[in-house]
Amino acid sequence: MMQDYSINQFLAIAGTPNLDIEICDVTMRDGEQMPGVVFSPDEKLDIALRLDEIGVDVIEAGFPVVSTAEMIAVREVCNLGLNAKISALSRSVKRDVDAALDCGVDMVCVFIATSELHLKHKLRMSCPEAIKCALDTVEYAKDHGLIVRFSAEDATRTDLETLKKLYKKAEEYHADYVSVADTVGIMNPRTMYYLISEIKKVVTIPICMHCHDDMGLALANTLSGAEAGAYQLHTTVNGIGERAGNTPLEELLVSLRLQYNIDQYDLSKLKDVSRLIESYSGVSVPKNKAIVGSNAFAHESGIHVAAVLEEPRTYELFSPEMVGAARHIIIGKHTGAKALRYITQRMGYRLKDNELIVLAEKVKMCSELKRPINCEELRKLILGMENVDIIYPGP
Ligand code: HCA
């Protein structure tokens, strides 16, 4: 029997760690902090429903203290009665926790910046002052019955010993999670693994990974943190978020499925939720975006199309159906006769081999317009040829 290398022979050699994880999606909070993005309360309800259908464990629905509309939206998300826990963001001030409590959230993220840079230039506080604010707020939120995630903003530029002491203190104050925010995306997989391993030495509560993509490493860093033992992994749909954004939900879930055998999430809804966020946020998904870009399962080159038509796995790591997408065979400069046979048959024409060669030449000439040719243009080219055998009138 032929060896199946279709997924990854190296996983067997390098080993697959058993990850124990949950997903916290922050599209409606960090995603909404992307310049120009605003979700209406109705849109937030829709987004929350879709995330819940996928099986996301925690949904960060917003930052309630920001506005009345935000409070209404977060409250309505809470009232949906979803399986996911609903969380809200709160600075380390009681007023923010009160706003979250008013919405009826299950969980709150109490955050404060801890790096010298942020303390000096943003908060204008000493480190002990910031720690006091954070711990008082954690205590207040716990006293009011909330699940508390304590997040050190800019954790990855904070002195390690200070960070470890702070997380240990947060645990003593009964925080339920501690969160490592790679706020400006400074880490790489190696440094993230080290950092999470160090934090695990001092706390027993679950650790969260909140990675930004400033160097394009958010997904890799999230996975590396999870390998080192982090439990709650943060994502946004399409990777939207501050600056270069956050770890994309769709990329993380597919990687968890294919590389770590985690199958508790419904991947078949990923393309739909991506379209939804594209429309509500107004942020277009790049064509070549992994998993959900329009080119993720598109093939044009003659060599690729011929192979994909024979056996899709030649150029598709996984089937488009797995993520609710579809395969597209594109007609263009690189399209060969084999691909044209497949496409023209589906359009209702049966072309002989020599006709396909002529058609391929015509397509090449047209594609000098620097764009793929659509089916209508292809039909005109076919009808311009003599004696083409029409099987049935195409669509
Ligand atoms: C921000 C805060 C945060 C919080 C991260 C977290 C960050 O800067 O808006 O939830 O753990 O990136 O530091 O989003």
Q: What is the CATH number of the domain that holds 269?
A: 3.20.20.70
Domain match, 53 and 156 both? yes
61 vs 350 pLDDT, higher one:
61
Q: Which of 237, 254, 281 is the last residue of a domain?
A: 281
What is the mean predicted confidence (pLDDT) over 322-339? 90
pLDDT of residue 395: 43
pLDDT at 392: 54
Residues 166-221: tens digit of each pLDDT:
999 999 999 999 999 999 999 999 999 999 999 999 999 999 999 999 999 999 99
For residues 205 and 356, give the distance between their C-alpha atoms in angstroms, rounded to a whole number.
Answer: 65
Quote the pLDDT of residue 339: 86
Domain range holding 339? 298-390
Same domain for 276 and 309, yes or no, is no
Q: How far is the CA of 153 from the centre of ligand 1 (A)?
A: 6
Q: Which residue would you say has higher pLDDT here, 59 or 368?
A: 59
| pLDDT value at residue 370 | 73
Pair (305, 261) in one structural domain: no
* Residue 261, domain member (yes or no): yes
Q: What percent of the chain has a predicted confidence (pLDDT) above 70?
A: 96
Burial of residue 341 (number of CB atoms within 10 Å: 0-12, 13-18, 19+): buried
Residue 349 is assigned to a structural domain of this protein: yes
Clarify whether residues 68 and 183 are in a common domain: yes
89/164 same-domain check? yes
Q: Which of 256, 281, 306 is where one domain is finished?
A: 281
Check residue 10 and give its pLDDT: 87
Q: How far is the CA of 243 from the centre of ligand 1 (A)?
A: 12
Average of pLDDT values for 58-67? 97
Based on the fold, state whether residues 75 and 223 are members of the same structural domain: yes
* Number of separate domains in the chain: 2
Pocket test for ligand 1, best of 26, 87, 111, 112 (most atoms within 8 A of CB): 111
Which residue owns the Cα nearest ligand 1 atom 9? 30
Predicted pLDDT at 44:
98
Instruction: Kindly state whether residues 67 and 202 are assigned to the same domain.
Output: yes
- Are residues 69 and 38 in contact, defined by beta-carbon separation less than 8 angstroms? no
Does 1 map to a domain?
Answer: no
pLDDT band at 393 (very low <50, low <70, confident <90, very high): very low
Domain boundary at 246, 281, 316, which?
281
Ligand 1 near 183 CB (within 6 A): yes
Least confident of 75-79, 156-160, 308-312: 308-312
| 18 assigned to some structural domain | yes
Ligand 1: atom nearest CA of 109 is: 10
Do 39 and 111 lie in one domain? The reply is: yes
In a domain? residue 214: yes
Judgement on whether residues 244 and 324 belong to the same structural domain of the protein: no
Instruction: Note whether residue 230 is domain-resident.
Output: yes
